[in-house]
Amino acid sequence: MGIVSAMFVSFCALFIALDAIGLLPKFNLFAQEIPPKEIKKKLIGSVYLAAAIVVGVLIASRIIAWLLGLSSADFQIGAGIILFVLSIYYLLKPESKLNFNPAASKILPLATPIIISPSVIAMILVLMGSYGLIITSLSFAANMVLVYIVFRNATKLQTVLGANGVALLSKTVDILLGVFAIMLIKNGVIAIFVQFCAKNRY
């Protein structure tokens, strides 16, 4: 796969996992708890913190993979199962994405409860194993720019799209997440089967 194609696929995969549009209502609830002048500062700080969390996850995953001898196929299957379960859960309980504790906004950073979700971490691990550090990092950075733009205009976007529009787009993303998860599991199983056949070929 060419660099451009790999960038496009990894960007779309992270865009699906992040689901910034579906999180607009949750972000607007978060924004109500802080002064308007501090929203931009909080958002920029949260994007930087999200990047730091991802870097930590990548380093830890590489160390664990080296210690346990895990392959990219192992990550594909494991992350694929997690993403598939999450997609089904989000489809059956869409309100789970919007759970919000106002008191937590004063303690927890925006990056942890909103931007960096289990689906994002799982997707990052898969992309790292499939496309490497550079493409994964560039795709994540591009998505963080998009997340910043979306959240900076959260009120306007939610007004334009309406509650039904946001819900429809979010459900579409959840379906795509499930489809992507199945593809990951399939590719992982095929890769392991090919490796098994290569090792046991007479």
Torsion over CA: 62, 64, 66, 71 (sign): negative
Specify burial of residue 189 (Cβ count, 10 A radius: 0-12, 13-18, 19+). Answer: middle
pLDDT-above-90 percentage for the chain = 1
Structure tokens at 137: 């990092």
Q: Judge if pTM exceeds 0.85.
A: no
Q: Which residues contact 18 (CB under 8 A, 6 or more apart)?
A: 115, 117, 120, 143, 147
Res 111: pLDDT = 58
Among 13-27, 84-98, 162-176, the least confident range: 84-98
At 72-82, the pLDDT tens digits run: 888 888 888 98
**Helix H or strand E segment including 172:** helix 154-199
pLDDT in tens, 1-12: 578 888 888 888
Residue 66, pLDDT above cutoff 60: yes
The angle subtended at Cα 81 by Cα 78 and Cα 85, nearest 5°, is: 145
Whether the per-residue pLDDT at 21 is higher than 60: the answer is yes
- Return the top range by mean pLDDT from 35-44, 57-66, 99-108: 57-66
124 vs 34, higher pLDDT: 124
Contact between residue 81 and residue 181 where contact means Cβ atoms under 8 Å apart: yes
Higher pLDDT, 111 or 64: 64
pLDDT at position 135: 86
Report the pLDDT averaged over residues 50-76. 82
pLDDT on residue 184: 87
pLDDT at 65: 79
**DSSP-assigned letters across all residues of 19-80:** -TTTTHHHHHHHHHTS-HHHHHHHHHHHHHHHHHHHHHHHHHHHHHHHHHT--HHHHHHHHH
pLDDT tens-digit map of 91-143: 887 666 656 555 555 545 565 666 777 888 888 888 887 787 788 888 888 99
Question: If we measure between CA atoms, which residue out of 26, 164, 161, 154 comes closest to residue 96?
Answer: 26
